[in-house]
Amino acid sequence: MMEKREITFKEAIREALQEEMKRDESVIIMGIDVGVWGNLYGFTRGFVDTFGRDRVMDTPISEAAIAGCGCGAAASGLRPVIEIMYIDFISIAMDQIINHGAKWHQLSGGKVKVPMVLITNGGVGLRNSSQHSQSFENWFVNVPGLVTVMPSSPYDAKGLLKASIRDDNPVIFIYPKGVLNDKMAVPVEDYLIPLGVADVKRAGSDVSIVATGWMVDHALSAAQELNREGIECEVIDPRTLYPLDEESIARSVHKTGRCMVVTEAPAAGGWSGEVASVVMEHCFVSLKKPVLRLAGIRTGIPYDKDLERQVVPGVKNIIEGVKSLLG
């Protein structure tokens, strides 16, 4: 039995980084304010004193430079964790990430590895307005050579981040703002969560809900309310958007015959459409209703707290969606 204690999502990220840096001297951290200040959310507070400035490096305010240094460091034998403070700023680093970091292994005939983790946050929840609250995960699942990870809980965040750091591929690790203060039991002992493996957060027989990031919390809350009405929802968290665990999703939909996909990111051109296609291709004979997608509105994110919540699906939307699938 593993010893467990309750920690927040933020503490889980911090522990994962700290443990991996102690385990492997090739792990370094680079980003804006990750050193002396200790990161926007305190992930690396005190790391400079523990690991030194050669391994915890404050960078200029240049996402292109940060990503470029990360690619070079990874190709040279290090395992860099580079931070882009908000996913909204990642567009400035897209050339380095997509045309270099994601491609070098292929272009070198497998001789060059790029074991880099790019860690960033996305989505709403902290009233950061339109330039600091977007959901761009849809962009990365389409890029050959990249792994895209999105945890929804402290337990998953720690295990997935540790596995990402040990992986030999460039990993885009996106944590949702809405869960930063969530708290749950997390093992003290070392553990990894394999990339590309989904998790059934709640078993059910009536509807399969495939949700990502903060939407997993909403889906679980909706499932609990629907349970009082005798409706059993199965909530699946893919945890890794690419590679996608298609088997786990198909297994659930074959059982329930109904599927809803819930994301903060807009539906247009998005990952939610990929999941819907997978379900249609593999579960068509089992489907009792077409796949339903609940996604963020394709709009700028408002600053007002109440308006911010209106642009992404909530518990009420999910409950209504489930009932429409059963109607």
Q: Give residue-wise pLDDT tens across range 47-103.
A: 999 999 999 999 999 999 999 999 999 999 999 999 999 999 999 999 999 999 999
What pLDDT is recorded for position 55?
Answer: 97
**DSSP 8-state assignment for residue 2:** -
> Burial, 309: exposed, middle or buried (Cβ in 10 Å; 0-12, 13-18, 19+)?
middle
* pLDDT tens figures, 188-242: 999 999 999 999 999 999 999 999 999 999 999 999 999 999 999 999 999 999 9
What pLDDT is recorded for position 133?
Answer: 82
Tokens 């960033």 identify what position?
120
Q: Under a CB-based contact definition with an 8 Å cutoff, are residues 209 and 235 in contact?
A: yes
Q: Under a CB-based contact definition with an 8 Å cutoff, are residues 40 and 85 in contact?
A: yes
Res. 130: pLDDT tops 90: no
- Cα–Cα dist 270/273, whole Å: 6
How much of the chain, in percent, has pLDDT values that exceed 90? Answer: 89
Give the neighbor-by-neighbor strand order of the sheet with 27-31. Answer: 56-58, 27-31, 79-83, 117-122, 171-176, 147-149, 240-242
Q: What is the DSSP string of 160-220?
A: HHHHHHHSSS-EEEEEEGGGTT-EEEEESS-----TT--EEEE--SSEEEEE-THHHHHHH
Band (305; pLDDT cuts 50, 70, 90): confident
Q: Under a CB-based contact definition with an 8 Å cutoff, are residues 201 and 237 in contact?
A: yes
What mean pLDDT is predicted for residues 146-154? 98
Partners of 266 in the beta sheet? 296
Band (126; pLDDT cuts 50, 70, 90): confident
Res. 32: pLDDT tops 80: yes
Domains within the chain, CATH numbers bracketed = 4-187 (3.40.50.970), 199-326 (3.40.50.920)
Summary mean pLDDT of the chain: 95
Tokens of 189: 């002992």
Q: What is the DSSP string of 242-285?
A: ES--HHHHHHHHHHHS-EEEEEEEESTTSHHHHHHHHHHHHHGG
Catalytic, 132? Answer: yes
How much of the chain, in percent, has pLDDT values that exceed 70? Answer: 100
Tokens of 324: 């429409």
CA atoms within 13 A on the CB side of 166: 17
What pLDDT is recorded for position 308?
Answer: 87
Res. 2: pLDDT tops 80: no
Exactly one of 105, 132, 218, 282 is catalytic; name it: 132
Return the number of other C-beta atoms located less than 10 Å from residue 90's C-beta: 22
What pLDDT is recorded for position 35?
Answer: 93
What is the value of pTM for the model shown? Answer: 0.96
Res. 132: pLDDT tops 80: yes
- Three-state secondary structure call for residue 84: coil
